[in-house]
Amino acid sequence: MSAGFKETRTVDQVLNEAIKYVRHRPGVIEVPISEALYRYLAEDVVARFDVPGFNRSAVDGYAVRSIDTFGASPTNPITLRVIGFMAVGDEPGKFALNPGEAVEISTGAALPINADAVVMYEDTRRSGDYVEVLRPVPPMGNVSRRGEDVRAGEVMFRRGMRLLPWDLGVLASMGVYRVRVYSLRVAIISTGNELVEVTDVPQEGPPPGRVINSSRFVIEGLVKSLGFDPVYLGIVGDDIDRIAKTVEDAIKGYDAVITTGGISVGRVDYTIKAVMKLNPEYVNHGLSIRPGRPNSIAVVNGKPVFMLSGFPVAAATGFDVLVRPILLHMVGGEDEPRPVVKGVLTRRVSTPVNTRSFVRVRVYLGKDGGVYVEPLALTGSGILSTLVRGNGILVVPENREGFDEGDEVEVTLTRPIYRENA
């Protein structure tokens, strides 16, 4: 018996293959925009009307007929009669300018009828009911034009776009209160005879040999962080038929399935055997990443079944390279930019060639003001706490066998850079 996988394909190969088989599209729900944050639009959104809906002042000052100001200068000011004040919220019809008249106006207020420009306070001198204009203003000067922000008929949002805080504001200003977004429901199944739920653990810890099911919470959190909806289905023991039945039901009821555990080679590959019974259109057992070599994927009825390692760090790595891109593909979403930083490696990192390695690191600001990167990962996929103690991940690509001490490396930051010294 060998611990090696028959074939551990590169991550990119597996993704390209698997995605072709993922034909299922997730459900769509209509929600108020205040509940749509970080979800993905399931429709294009087209503007019904212009925003702003009227010409409005971009400054505090005096609304004028621009023609009345031509030739004005500090030494030769033009005097206009002030006939009133336009506040924000006033209707444009509140005033209509005759030649030689002006209306004092607030930023954001509608221009009165016949006004086509605004002179800023700075370019005026007020005196009772009159104002001296010290500088000419061109037509539409200091005016925010109707439709300047959003034009009626314009496609402002595309399907698949992830809604960020200011997007909600733009949707509101377009008069859109409810939007159709994807509800991608991901079933999570934990497998393993050793697992106990955290709610069932006595004060002194689990019995010897047993392990608290922690991966479930990591996976739930990662699914949520993408804006998708995790549904935890519980622990299933190491029993191929029971795992197969649970996964089969989950495929019927949800848009995607994530299992943990039971995918090593040899005696403990219950999950992969169970999923093989479901006649998958596609299956790949093992990935050339470290940690996380056992992470696997199948596609059943057009839906992805991700089989992740029972070890939480390996499962998290599998989520990042395998689950995330495929779930994003299902909603037409794009990978978001991540914070990265360059720093100097404090210790050599050795990794296997032809393997993409994910090394947990601690990034800190040295006494000399330089950024340093200290590798943390030790005996591999079991050490979940390195993700708490560390604040970054160093990715070593397939074509390298590591980095040397002193090398400048680029690290993805998961938390702020430590300020104290090493």
Hey, which residues between 49 and 108 contact a copy of itself (CB under 8 A)? 49-54, 56, 58-61, 85, 87-93, 106-108
> CB-based contacts of 2: which residues, under 8 Å, 6+ apart?
265
CA gap 379, 251 in Å, rounded? 35
Q: How far is CA 232 from the centre of its chain?
A: 22
Q: Quick one: which of 119, 133, 137, 170 contacts a copy of itself (CB under 8 A)?
A: 170
CB nearer to a copy of itself: pick between 175 and 253:
175
Site for a copy of itself in 391-420 (CB under 8 A): 413-417
Any idea which residue has 């989520």 for tokens? 319
Binding mask 4-43 for a copy of itself (x = CB under 8 A): -----------------------------xx--xx-----
Tell the residue number behind the tokens 């608290």, with chain if given: 212
Min CB(275)–a copy of itself separation in Å: 19
Give the nearest distance from C-beta 24 to a copy of itself in angstroms.
Answer: 24
Q: Do residues 33 and 177 touch, judged by C-beta distance below 8 A?
A: yes
Nearest of 282, 308, 303, 191 to residue 244 by alpha carbon:
191
Nearer to a copy of itself, 210 or 277 (CB): 210
Closest to a copy of itself by CB, 99 or 203: 203
Q: In 3-state terms, what secondary structure has residue 250?
A: helix
Closest separation in Å from C-beta 160 to a copy of itself: 11
Applying the rule CB under 8 A, the residues between 291 and 320 that interact with a copy of itself are 310-313, 316
Q: Smallest distance from the beta carbon of 282 to a copy of itself, in angstroms? A: 26
Per the CB < 8 A criterion, the answer to whether 150 and 323 are in contact is no
Write the CB contacts of 352 (distance below 8 Å, at least 6 apart in sequence).
290, 401
Residue 353 in the binding site for a copy of itself (CB under 8 A): no
DSSP secondary-structure letter at 256?
E
The least distance separating a copy of itself from the CB of residue 196, rounded to whole angstroms, comes to 9
Residue 92 half-sphere exposure toward CB, CA atoms < 13 A? 12
Choosing from 110, 236, 330, 377, the residue that interacts with a copy of itself (CB under 8 A) is 110
Positions in 244-273 near a copy of itself (CB under 8 A): 264-268
Q: How far is the CB of 281 from a copy of itself (least distance, A)?
A: 30
Contacts to a copy of itself from residues 315-334, by CB under 8 A: 316, 334
**Quick one: 219 or 299, whose CB is closer to a copy of itself?**
219
H-helix or E-strand containing 242? Answer: helix 240-253
331 vs 399: CA distance, rounded Å: 32
Rounded to a whole number, what is the largest CA-CA distance in the chain?
98
Binding to a copy of itself (CB under 8 A): which residues in 225-244? Answer: 225, 232, 238
Q: Which of residues 178-207 bind a copy of itself (CB under 8 A)?
A: 192-195, 198-199, 201, 203-207
In the stretch 138-157, what mask flags binding to a copy of itself with x, by CB under 8 A?
Answer: ------x---xxx-----xx
**Count of residues engaged in binding a copy of itself, rule: CB under 8 A:** 118
SS3 assignment, position 169: helix
Buried b or exposed e, range 30-50, using 16+ CB within 10 angstroms: eeebeebeebbbbeebebeeb
